Amino acid sequence: MYYNYSCNSIENLINRKENLISNSDEFSCQERDFISSAAIGFIHKNGFFKTPPASLMEDLLLIVDIGKTMPSFNDLDLSDKICLLTQITMPLSILLLAYYSYTKKYNTVILPSGISMAFGFSGEYYEGDETIAKLSKKVFIDSMEQFNQVELTEEEYVLLRAIIFCHSFTDGLSKQGRELLLNESEKYSKILMKILQNRHGDLAGARRFTECVQLIQTCFFFGHQHSLFFNYLANVYHRDTFRNVMPEAFVNLCLRNKMNCL
């Protein structure tokens, strides 16, 4: 398991020499082994954090490793890298999960293992909790609506991901880091606009560009909801396990813990 490496800080995640991109055939949008009925039953009875959530940790690590392949990310100071990842990992997680689920023609977020996240959080362990039900619906069902409407192409998806990685309005960034990311964000936005206008014509391309950019706002909105969900789980339902079944760096990314901003 790649996350058994020393991952006790976001800094260590950034400085890892290993990179999941080298295993892209395994960790791209391909199905992993489908979850067994026994495993689903275990989740329904014990929740998602009785044991280490392998799929979640792999996705978080993949997001960090994608960032490390981007020149703009590598040009940032370490403190800027940490602050950026703290703020954009949950929106990127929404983008990754929702886009994957859309490509598989689902109306709810589904993991490559085949489990529906909303279904998992409807089990007996969480039964009767209205906050769980509300946040689960928002994060894993409502988030899919706009993705299924817009129907992103893979090219559009990759460019939106790059634009989110260049989020210059992140709290705590240095002036230099903010300017660097703003320039990169504008560059990727212009590339996306040019591609869309070449493909659809000037007016239709501009409309399509607006639809794509609105998906970025969707990712940040539901990324915030996702972080609220994790905070609720960590402090209410899984107080004894959430922070113990994952390395600290992953916990901080899920909870948007700013303690790692230097």
Q: Where are the domains of the chain?
A: 8-260
pLDDT at 22 (0 to 100)? 64
pLDDT at 259 (0 to 100)? 39
Hunting for tokens 């990127």 — which residue is that? 92
Q: 137 and 129 in contact (C-beta within 8 Å)?
A: no
Report the C-alpha gap between 62 and 23 in whole angstroms: 10
Q: 117 and 110 in contact (C-beta within 8 Å)?
A: yes
Q: Which fold has domain 8-260?
A: Retinoid X Receptor (1.10.565)
pLDDT at 68 (0 to 100)? 93
Hunting for tokens 């869309």 — which residue is that? 196
Query: Which DSSP letter does residue 116 get?
Result: B
Q: Which amino acid is at 57?
A: M
The whole-model pTM stands at: 0.91
pLDDT at 237 (0 to 100)? 87
Report the C-alpha gap between 60 and 13 in whole angstroms: 10
Hunting for tokens 């960590």 — which residue is that? 234
pLDDT at 33 (0 to 100)? 61
Report the C-alpha gap between 153 and 99 in whole angstroms: 9
Report the C-alpha gap between 19 and 69 in whole angstroms: 9
Report the C-alpha gap between 85 and 102 in whole angstroms: 25
For residue 51, give the 3-state DSSP assignment.
coil
For residue 110, give the 3-state DSSP assignment.
strand
* Intervals of the chain under pLDDT 70: 1-6, 22-33, 257-262
pLDDT at 256 (0 to 100)? 84
